[in-house]
Amino acid sequence: MSGLLTVEGGTPLQGEITVRGAKNFVSKAMVASLLGEEASELRNVPQIRDVEVVANLLGLHGVSVEHDPQAGVIALDPRNVEAAHVADIDAYAGSSRIPILFCGPLLHRLGEAFIPDLGGCRIGDRPIDYHLNILRQFGAVVDKRVQGIHISAPGGLRGTQIHLPYPSVGATEQTLLTAVRAQGLTELSNAAIEPEIMDLIAVLQKMGAIISVDTDRTIRIEGVDRLQGFRHTALADRIEAGSWASAALATRGDVFVKGATQPEMMTFLNTFRKVGGAFDVRADGIRFWHPGGELRSIVLETDVHPGFMTDWQQPLVVALTQATGLSIVHETVYENRFGFTDALRGMGATIQIYRECLGGLECRFDQRNFNHSAVISGPTPLRAADIEVPDLRGGFSHLIAALAAEGVSRVRGIDIINRGYENFMDKLEALGAKVSLAEAQGQVALV
Which residues are tagged catalytic? 121
How far are the Cα atoms of 27, 75, 228, 298, 399 from residue 376, in angstroms, in the given order? 34, 46, 51, 10, 18
Contact mark string toward ligand EPZ, 188..207, x via CB under 6 A: ----x---------------
Identified binder of ligand EPZ from the candidate list 181, 393, 410, 427, rule CB under 6 A: 393
Q: Is 311 in the site for ligand EPZ (CB under 6 A)?
A: yes
Q: How many CA atoms lie within 13 A of 39 on its CB side?
A: 8
The size of the interface with ligand EPZ (CB under 6 A), counted in residues, is 27
Separation of CA 439 from chain center? 28
How far are the Cα atoms of 54, 223, 312 from residue 330, in angstroms, in the given order? 32, 39, 13
Contact in structure between 410 and 5 (CB atoms under 8 Å): yes
User: Nearest distance from residue 310's CB to ligand EPZ, in Å?
Assistant: 5
Q: Which stretch binds ligand EPZ (CB under 6 A): 138-146, 167-175, 219-227, 425-433?
A: 167-175
Identified binder of ligand EPZ from the candidate list 129, 280, 294, 426, rule CB under 6 A: 129
Q: What phi, psi does 199 have (nearest 5°)?
A: -70, -35
How far are the Cα atoms of 68, 109, 369, 376 from residue 268, in angstroms, in the given order? 32, 40, 29, 19
Q: Return the number of the residue (166 or 282) whose C-beta is nearest ligand EPZ.
A: 166
Which of 318, 386, 343 is closest to 4 using CA atoms?
Answer: 386
Write out the binding residues for ligand EPZ, residues 72-101 only, by CB under 6 A.
97
Q: Return the number of the residue (236 or 295) whose C-beta is nearest ligand EPZ.
A: 236
User: Nearest distance from residue 415's CB to ligand EPZ, in Å?
Assistant: 15
Question: Nearest to ligand EPZ by Cβ — which residue?
Answer: 170
Q: Return the number of the residue (167 or 378) whose C-beta is nearest ligand EPZ.
A: 167
Q: Is 121 in the site for ligand EPZ (CB under 6 A)?
A: yes
- 333 labeled binding residue: yes
Q: Which stretch binds ligand EPZ (CB under 6 A): 105-113, 162-170, 220-228, 349-357?
A: 162-170
Q: How many CA atoms lie within 13 A of 295 on its CB side?
A: 31
Write out the binding residues for ligand EPZ, residues 223-282 only, by CB under 6 A.
239
What CA–CA distance (Å, rounded) separates 370 from 356? 8
Q: Give the count of beta carbons closer than 10 Å to the beta carbon of residue 56.
A: 16
Q: Is 127 in the site for ligand EPZ (CB under 6 A)?
A: yes
User: Nearest distance from residue 267's CB to ligand EPZ, in Å?
Assistant: 13
Identified binder of ligand EPZ from the candidate list 92, 130, 272, 308, rule CB under 6 A: 130
Identified binder of ligand EPZ from the candidate list 18, 33, 44, 168, rule CB under 6 A: 168
Write out the binding residues for ligand EPZ, residues 405-444 only, by CB under 6 A.
420
Identified binder of ligand EPZ from the candidate list 334, 338, 370, 396, rule CB under 6 A: 334
- 28 labeled binding residue: no
Exposed e or buried b per residue across 277-292, where buried means at least 16 C-beta atoms within 10 angstroms of its C-beta: bebeeeeebbbbbbee
Radius of gyration of the chain (CA): 22
Q: Which stretch binds ligand EPZ (CB under 6 A): 261-269, 286-294, 309-317, 426-434?
A: 309-317
Which of 441, 432, 435, 434 is closest to 14 using CA atoms?
Answer: 432
Residues sharing a CB contact under 8 Å with residue 131, sequence separation 6 or more, in sequence order: 100, 103, 170, 171, 174
Bridge partners (DSSP) of residue 289 are 254, 278
Does residue 145 sit in helix, strand or coil? coil
- 23 labeled binding residue: yes
- 24 labeled binding residue: yes
Identified binder of ligand EPZ from the candidate list 113, 349, 392, 411, rule CB under 6 A: 392
What are the contacts of 279-285 at 24+ separation with CB within 8 A? 279/245, 282/256, 284/258, 284/259, 285/18, 285/256, 285/257, 285/258, 285/259, 285/260
Does residue 396 sit in helix, strand or coil? helix
Q: Is 128 in the site for ligand EPZ (CB under 6 A)?
A: yes
Separation of CA 289 from chain center? 24
Q: Return the number of the residue (337 or 410) whose C-beta is nearest ligand EPZ.
A: 337
Contact in structure between 44 and 196 (CB atoms under 8 Å): no
Q: Is 54 in the site for ligand EPZ (CB under 6 A)?
A: no
Q: Is 171 in the site for ligand EPZ (CB under 6 A)?
A: yes
What CA–CA distance (Å, rounded) separates 141 from 150? 8
User: Nearest distance from residue 149's CB to ligand EPZ, in Å?
Assistant: 12
Q: Which stretch binds ligand EPZ (CB under 6 A): 30-38, 67-75, 163-171, 370-378?
A: 163-171
User: Nearest distance from residue 44's CB to ligand EPZ, in Å?
Assistant: 17
Which residues are documented as binding site for phosphoenolpyruvate?
Answer: 23-24
Which residues are documented as binding site for UDP-N-acetyl-alpha-D-glucosamine?
Answer: 97, 311, 333
What is the binding site for ligand EPZ (CB under 6 A)?
23-24, 97, 121, 124-131, 166, 168-171, 192, 239, 309-311, 333-334, 392-393, 420
Which residues are documented as binding site?
Answer: 23-24, 97, 311, 333
